[in-house]
Amino acid sequence: MSHFAKVEDGIVTAVYVAEQDWVDAQVDSDKYVQTSYNTKGGKHCFPDSYEEDSGTPLRKNYAGVGHIYDSARDAFYIPQPYPSWTLNDDTCMWEPPVDYPASAAADDKYYEWDEDTTAWVEVTE
């Protein structure tokens, strides 16, 4: 079994676990694009981690409903989360203009993006 994203006007409308024969039997079979649950940021990873394994990545990222399929890049990615963020062409993941604070894990703090200041702001609630 494989995963297939149904893509309409460049947007993923559904993701199915199916055999290729099922896709081929669909009236609109040209709208289905295979996606890999283990592909993240252009790497094939172990399930539930970003640790790369020896598999072959497929279309940069796993597709989800509402995600974008860019046929020119042959890649899936989420919609742009903030206007200041840019799409990394290698990973097809959005990147903020300022890196997430490196000390966050060590100081046990959580930060959210503030688009008005284009900075990470500590969450204190």
Distance between CA atoms of 34 and 61, rounded to whole angstroms? 11
HSE of 124, CA atoms in CB hemisphere, 13 A? 2
Predicted TM-score (pTM) of this structure = 0.89
What tens digit of pLDDT does each residue of 12-52 get?
999 999 999 999 999 999 999 999 999 999 999 988 777 88
Spatial distance between the Cα atoms of 48 and 65, rounded to a whole number of angstroms:
19
Give the DSSP H/E element, type plus range, for residue 23: helix 20-25
Q: Is the pLDDT of residue 105 over 90?
A: no
In the chain the first and final C-alpha atoms are separated, in Å, by 44
Q: If you average pLDDT over every residue of the chain, what do you get?
A: 95
Is-contact 59 48, C-beta < 8 A?
no
Q: Indicate the domain borders of the chain.
A: 1-79, 81-125
